[in-house]
Structure 1
Amino acid sequence: MNLRPLGDRIIIKKVEAEEKTKSGIVLPSTAKEQPLMAEIVAIGDEILNDEKKKEQVKVGDKVIFSKYAGTEVKVDGVELTILKLVDILAVVE
């Protein structure tokens, strides 16, 4: 199944959190923080048709997003988040 975001929405796939601390301590999954970094999987038409917005983000970009933003969905066993462009705080370069 494919998802196509509508309007000014973006679909992202979260990047997994570190499983070890810098000192080498292994963290259980319950102790890990939810990642706030993700990769853009798809972009809505409203963003692609707007010259200013289109230059801000593109598919494949790594981004940082608001902690409580978006709606989480599971498609073909992959967890994705659908959020608005305004919920993206920065692009990681």
Structure 2
Amino acid sequence: MAKRLIPAFNRVLVEKIVPSSKTNTGILLPEKSSKLNSGKVVAIGPGIRDRDGKHIPISLKEGDVVLLPDYGGTEVKLEGKEFHLYREDDILGTLHD
């Protein structure tokens, strides 16, 4: 049975993107000191309400590639895969090609 986590409030579920350590031809790549800490948005919460009760939706959407802080977030394991749960405020930005 597949589990699906729907984040609460302004939280975002992210699967971290791990850069490949090997090329297609099998050459091992050295670990880079300036690796980018990024992830793909898997699920988003409904948003939050301000003091007046107005709904503030999350500005991200599923499938966005985001820049993540080095520390923070909550690790979540679902069906053997590792995900991280962040508040929308903690995400540093989105990455585009």
Sort the TM-score into its range (normalised by shorter chain).
0.7 to 0.9
Report the TM-score when normalising by structure 2.
Answer: 0.72
Aligned counterparts of 2:71 and 2:5: Cα–Cα separation in 1: 21
Aligned to 2:8: 6
| 8 Å CA contact retained: 1:19, 1:32 | no
Unaligned runs of 5+ in 1: none
RMSD value, Cα: 2.5
Output the amino acid matched with 2:38.
Answer: M
Higher alpha-carbon Rg: 2
The alignment of Structure 1 onto Structure 2 pairs a total of residues equal to 84
Higher helix share: 1
Which aligned runs of 4 or more in structure 1 are off by greater than 3 angstroms? 24-27, 31-35
Aligned counterparts of 2:9 and 2:95: Cα–Cα separation in 1: 23
Report the TM-score when normalising by structure 1.
Answer: 0.75
Aligned counterparts of 2:75 and 2:43: Cα–Cα separation in 1: 14
Query: 1:15 pairs with 10, 13, 17, which one?
Result: 17
Aligned counterparts of 1:38 and 1:7: Cα–Cα separation in 2: 20
Unaligned runs of 5+ in 2: 49-54
Calculate percent identity across the aligned residue pairs. 32
